[in-house]
Amino acid sequence: MKELAEILLTPEQIATRVKELGAEITKDYQGKNLIVIGILKGALPFMADLIRQIKVPLRYDLMAVSSYGASTKSSGAVQILKDIETGLEGEDVLVVEDIIDTGLTLKYLLRNLQARHPASLKVCTLLDKPSRREVEITPEYNGFVIPDRFVVGYGLDYAERFRELPLIGVLKPEVYEGK
């Protein structure tokens, strides 16, 4: 694809890691009341593949939050665009995110969810970019640590494009810099 500078993760690498994450989560949530909360839109492909690899009963719901708009950087101002319909009190909650960058959006989201009194609250992310972190957040389940590059594919987008790619690729700067 001409807009990609390189392929960072192949579909096979992603599938292997998702299967491993599913096995870890299965082990950790034996006998618990697991609710998986996917963060729209980016985490949807990852969450769909992940829940098929989790071998314990679970329920899931979806939230939509925004801090990017059509930008490549988080604005830090978080909006909940769609809230969950499931009560969380006394439940074991696993938030599934596509990428943790600055951590600002996730910190806001976790504070919001913690106020609903879950029994436990953990995070599973496909991608982690710790070099960009502005707040202290460490996911309990992490697919891949990646460098500070603008990535798309497997749910991640730039201006709503590239989500459908089965891989994670680095977007050429001229695509988002308008050159």
Distance CA 168, CA 152 (A): 6
Q: Which amino acid is at 31?
A: G
- DSSP structure class, residue 54: -
**In which region does residue 75 sit, left (phi positive, over 0), alpha (psi from -120 to 50) or beta (all else)?**
alpha
Active-site positions read: 101
Nearest to 38 by CA among 85, 102, 90: 85
Residue linked to tokens 């913690």: 114
Q: Which amino acid is at 21?
A: L
Distance CA 107, CA 151 (A): 21
- Overall size of the chain counted in residues: 179
CA distances from 17 to 108, 143, 160 (A): 27, 6, 25
Element (H, E) at 144: strand 141-145
